[in-house]
Structure 1
Amino acid sequence: MLTLLTYFSAHFQPLNLFRYITFRTGGATATALFFVFFFGPKIIAALRLKQGKGQPIRLDGPQSHLITKKGTPTMGGLMILSGLIVSTLLWANLRNHYVWAVLFVTVGFGAIGFYDDYLKVTRQTDKGFSGRLRLALEVLIAGLACFSMMALGGPHTTFLSLPAINGFALDLGLFFLAFGAFVIVAAGNAVNLTDGLDGLAIVPVMIAAGAFGVIAYLAGNAIFSNYLGINFVPGAGELAVVAGAVIGAGLGFLWFNAPPAQIFMGDTGSLALGGLLGAIAVAVKHEIVLVIVGGLFVLETLSVIVQVISFKLTGRRVFRMAPIHHHFEQLGWSEPQVVVRFWIIAFVLALIGLSTLKLR
């Protein structure tokens, strides 16, 4: 569609708007938002009918969840992904290999999450399929995406840059495959761990997507990237359109996921969205900045790691419950307090991450 519209722009000047990434990013946001708004109720009704008892709740989790969240359907990630994919296909330049690499990771991770959700719902257990098999599939998908970026990307594809340090870049060579795959898989699972309260994961995902949409646009522009002293990545600006689609689909989903949630995104959504953020970070060569912008997801992941290591070594728990959002629930914070305060943290971290662009 984009190619056709730009072709006719020579005869009808207003169509020139479709040449601008900023315009198409706004269009992608609006399209994804209205798509999810329109089809959301139908998807929720279908999932509720198919799932019956809904998502099983962790028995070792907060007891209030067994009452308030029991019976709520999951796999709401299907709403997000459908809006995101449709919008991206309509508004993005489909000749751009970065767009396809990110979509490949998103759909692949979404499929893994969907199968995991399916097993949990049908077996009525909070355990999905083999963790090792799941991780192996994630690594395979992420590795293929990174290989495509290496094969089709520019001369600096395998370089690693550090925030706030101008002129330094470490060429990872073939090790980029392992490093890039690690970033993508880690991001996917970090968002997955964060998805534990109504609205908790989706807003920080949108905030991170907005930050990386800006970074993608700047990195894909030779003038801006030269001024800021960041790697110029030809074609990366098109990922701003994908980020816009994430924000639109996320806003639509939040309408139905706001407390009390009518639907959960499940692993279908959280794993896919985390993988998407990781893939964009790898594509625009800002992997380290992802640790800052997505610091909330990092914190959630570290809380689980610390809890497990501490319990195995000492038999004691550092937190009352992990991930850390449950710890604050156990301290007496209400669910809305935890969610909104974590949103604020995510927003502040995104601002810090963006500020590194000018500190070079």
Structure 2
Amino acid sequence: MDTGVGGLIARLRAEREISQAQLADMLSRASGNPAVTRNEISRWESGRRRPRRYWLEWIAVVFGMSLFDFEDLARLATPSVDANEAEAIELRQRVAASDVGRATLEQLELAVDELAISYPTASPDMLLLRVRRHLGYVNQLLDVRKTLAEHRRLVVTGSWLSLLAATCSIDLAQRPAAAARLRTAAQLAEHGEHRELSTWCLETEAWQAVTDGDYRRAIKLSQGAQAVAPHGSSAFIQATAQEGRAHARLGHTRETLQVLSRVEHLVAPLKVPDRPEHHYRYDPGKSNAYVATTLSWLGDPGAESIARQVLRELEAPAYGQPRPRRAATARLDLSLALLAGSKPDEAIATTMEAIGSGRLVPSNFWRAKEVIKAIDARGVPEAADLRDAYESLKA
């Protein structure tokens, strides 16, 4: 059974939200060959049959990539955690070694931006595969002769990629791999003397502490990130917002509201960036989402209206593309706010939408569980359906 290719087809199809029948139709129209059917695609995805190379070429075309890229993604589709950690350690060790052209470095830097822009929409496992391919290329270039300035740019690029890989690993609840990649990213950021990158590394670690329930450590890390960050930078604002979320989890109302006021002051002069989807560029829309999360965790009645507004903006944004992953977690924020406002029926429906979206990642499962537990405590019969959906999601 070839589950690598089949699994990749299924993931790419789900990521684009198309059915097996739609994919069969797309392949038929692209190739001019009506031989492929929905049942055939089902057999491919289950691993019962491997597509012939003819169809692999057209599958790659339909998904907008080269056959080489498709096959490379399929080969990497099930990396082991040990391999992930070894990859991170290898990059860290080889940085100390010192002909890379300007065009190559610019291409890599553009690739980092494109990957960061893909983060809100791509599934983390598929994005991680793409990031790993670029990390492998950076590894190769570290052995190539280059100037000190080129070496520094390459190190910084490796740090961004390692940080994004760590973020994907956190999403996937791959803790040892995430920790290894974060250490690599932090060491490369220090080696490249890049303060904003160092800040993002600390902020990402703080976010992981929040998902782990270690809120006091998250506060400490967030404050450490703010001390390192260039004032007013995207990383500085994000670290400040992260501190507020951790305070909210601990029920520190006064501290939470103080932090939210600071964030509002920092965000006020910001303009919407050209690509607001970029994971490492702060924008006013992201600020609203953090306010909704923070207030819902605090149990503030004002969370509901903000959460509704955030959800509308994420699904039909005035700028950029819809962000379905963030919309799924925004629904969980709205559900908590609805429960605080004694609206359990709408909270149940909203939570079911979030779970059924297929966009929640393992690092956010605890948030769904928290909402379900709160609904369950109210003795609502529909809570059983939510629990079943949640267990199916985890499985």
TM-score by length of 2: 0.29
The answer to which structure, 1 or 2, has the higher relative contact order (CA under 8 A, 6+ apart) is 1
Q: Which has the larger radius of gyration?
A: 2
